[in-house]
Amino acid sequence: MTTDTPSPRPRPPFGRVLCAMITPFTAQGALDPDGARRLARHLVAEGCDGLVLSGTTGESPTTTDAEKAELITAVRDAVGSRVPLVAGVGTADTRHTVELALAAGEAGADGVLVVTPYYSRPPQDAVEAHFLEVADASRVPVMLYDIPGRTGTRIEPDTMIRLAAHPRIVAVKDCSYDVLGTQKVLARTDLAYYAGCDEHILALRAVGAAGCVSTIANAVPSHVAAVLAAYDAGDTARATELQLRLTPLTDAMMNTPLPGAVTTKALLNHLHHPAGPVRTPLRPADTATTARLLAHYEALLAAP
């Protein structure tokens, strides 16, 4: 819904601290539903009040439709009805995206994450039509996923403002790296914005974002939750301190030539959490990279 003037933000539809959960695989590369259950329970126990499945970090391009549905079912079984689950359903094909959105709702998802169609680079009117067709068909609320660095196409602020009028389009995972554009949409709509880049968690919360969809929360869920808890308690100095403490690990995990799925699984495997291998074309992190990740992780845990 669009608004002419800023108003108090509505209650976040999917929680505040969402983890962009990796998809655990067995050593042989098959989906590991039991590992997904164990990881989901751990993340929730450590402060995540929502989970995003089959997103970028969840290696969605390499999982089948059946695996995506099985993953939702397994995680729902693990966390029950108390934790919102948002399922990635975005593809480059509108018809396929609609099919996945319907399947995700049937499998137990509370919402669907729909990325801008990639590779074909549709113009804005086609981007808008794509999202509207998916939202019309979906039986659960929609979170738009704006990540032009991967898709090649931005959801422009004016497009986002128009899309906000659809009753099922309720949220945005923001990886646009356009804070001004984000503020334009926040000022004109009541869309729940979630920082999709870990370095922006506090910055976007300060201008009205609902929370975050965090990759590093796979490894340090309680630390990510603490940033928003401090800010929401009014202790902005503490929130800033905690955000800055996360910076070296965020840099090591996310600001590298390796995708976040690779660095996250390297760290989780070393910490003996369910993870397993990445699927090709991704390749595992080397020993030196894993050692750097572990060093930053241990330094964070050692901080007072």
**Active site (catalytic) residues:** 145, 173
CB 173 within 8 A of CB 144: yes
The token pair at 150 is 């991967």
- Report how far residue 48's alpha carbon sits from residue 294's, in angstroms, rounded to the nearest whole number: 22
Nearest Cα residue to 282 out of 267, 304, 265:
265
CA triple 14-19-21, angle to 5 deg = 120
Greatest Cα-to-Cα distance within the chain, rounded to the nearest angstrom? 54
Q: How far is CA 188 from CA 110, 116, 132, 160, 279, in A?
A: 25, 21, 19, 10, 41
The token pair at 27 is 């050593």
User: Which stretch of DSSP H or E encloses residue 135?
Assistant: helix 124-137
281 upstream amide cis, omega within 30 of 0: yes
CB 149 within 8 A of CB 169: no
**All residues at 6 or more sequence positions from 7 whose CB lies less than 8 Å from its CB, including other chains:** 190
